[in-house]
Structure 1
Amino acid sequence: MAQALLKEIEIGSKNALLKKRIITHYIYSGNSTLTDLSKELDLSVPTVTKFVSEMCEEGYINEYGKLETTGGRHPILYGLNPESGYFIGVDIKKFAVNIGLINFKGDMVDLKMDIPYKLENTPEALEELCKIISNFIKKTKIKTDKILNININISGRVNPELGYSFSHFNFSERPLAEILTEKIGYQISIDNDTRAMTYGEFLRGCVKGEKDIIFVNISWGLGIGIIIDGKVYTGKSGFSGEFGHVNVFDNEILCHCGKKGCLETEASGSALHRILLERIKNGASSILSNRIKTCETPLTLDEIIAAVNKEDLLCIEIVEEIGQKLGKHIAGLINIFNPELVIIGGTLSQTEDYITQPIKSAIRKYSLNLVNKDSAITTSKLKGEAGVIGACMLARSRMFEC
Structure 2
Amino acid sequence: MKINQQKKTESDSKYSTIKKQIIKHYIHNGDSTIPALANELQLSIPTVTKVIDEMVTDGYINNYGKIETGTGRQPYAYGLNSDSGYFIGVEIKRNSITIGVINFKGDMIELKRNIPYKSENSIEALNELCKQICNYIKKSTIEKEKIINININIPGRVNSELGYSFSQFNFEERPLTEILTERIGYKVTIDNDTRAMAFGEYLQGCINKEKDIIFVNISWGLGIGLILNGKLYYGKSGFSGEFGHVTAYDSEILCHCGKKGCIETEASGSALHRIILERSQKGESSILSNRIDADKPLTLDNIISAVNNEDMLCIEVIEEIGQKLGKQIAGLINIFNPELVIIGGSLSQTGDYILQPIKTAVRKFSLNLVNRDTIITLSKLKDKAGVIGACMLARSKMFENE
The TM-score normalised by the length of structure 1 is 0.95
Secondary structure at the aligned position of 1:399 is classed as coil
**2:31 matches 1:18:** no
For residues 70 and 334 of structure 1, do their structure 2 counterparts lie closer, same or farther at Cα, with a shift above 3 Å needed?
farther
Secondary structure at the aligned position of 2:35 is classed as helix
| Residue type at the aligned position of 2:381 | L
Partner of 2:359: 360
Structure 2 gaps, min length 5: 1-7
Cα deviation, 1:68-103, whole Å, max 9, x if unaligned, reads 445444432211111111110000000000000111
Alignment of 1:250-329 (within 5 A): 250-296=250-296, 298-329=297-328
For residues 50 and 332 of structure 1, do their structure 2 counterparts lie closer, same or farther at Cα, with a shift above 3 Å needed?
same
Structure 1 gaps, min length 5: 1-7
For residues 62 and 235 of structure 1, do their structure 2 counterparts lie closer, same or farther at Cα, with a shift above 3 Å needed?
same
| Residue type at the aligned position of 1:338 | N
Distance 1:307 1:10 in 2: 62
| Residue type at the aligned position of 1:255 | C
Secondary structure at the aligned position of 2:39 is classed as helix
Q: CA deviation at 1:46?
A: 2.7
Distance 1:347 1:300 in 2: 11
Maintained 8 Å contact 1:338/1:371: yes
Alignment of 1:1-400 (within 5 A): 13-296=13-296, 298-400=297-399
Distance 2:299 2:70 in 1: 56
The TM-score normalised by the length of structure 2 is 0.95
For residues 70 and 278 of structure 1, do their structure 2 counterparts lie closer, same or farther at Cα, with a shift above 3 Å needed?
farther
Q: CA deviation at 1:143?
A: 1.6
Q: Which moved more, 1:194-203 or 1:40-49?
A: 40-49
Partner of 1:4: none
Q: CA deviation at 1:208?
A: 1.6
Distance 2:70 2:342 in 1: 37
| Residue type at the aligned position of 1:64 | Y
For residues 373 and 387 of structure 1, do their structure 2 counterparts lie closer, same or farther at Cα, with a shift above 3 Å needed?
same
Identity within the alignment, %? 71
Partner of 1:3: none
For residues 156 and 12 of structure 1, do their structure 2 counterparts lie closer, same or farther at Cα, with a shift above 3 Å needed?
farther
Secondary structure at the aligned position of 1:13 is classed as helix
Q: CA deviation at 1:15?
A: 0.9
Maintained 8 Å contact 1:9/1:16: no
Q: CA deviation at 1:33?
A: 1.9
Secondary structure at the aligned position of 2:32 is classed as coil
Distance 2:9 2:171 in 1: 32
Distance 2:376 2:73 in 1: 42
Distance 2:148 2:397 in 1: 10
Maintained 8 Å contact 1:9/1:17: no
Distance 2:132 2:377 in 1: 34
Cα deviation, 1:116-150, whole Å, max 9, x if unaligned, reads 10011111111111010000100111221111111
Q: Which moved more, 1:156-165 or 1:69-78?
A: 69-78
Q: CA deviation at 1:56?
A: 1.1
| Residue type at the aligned position of 2:88 | I
Figure out how many residues of one structure are paired with residues of the other and give that number.
Answer: 394
Secondary structure at the aligned position of 1:226 is classed as strand
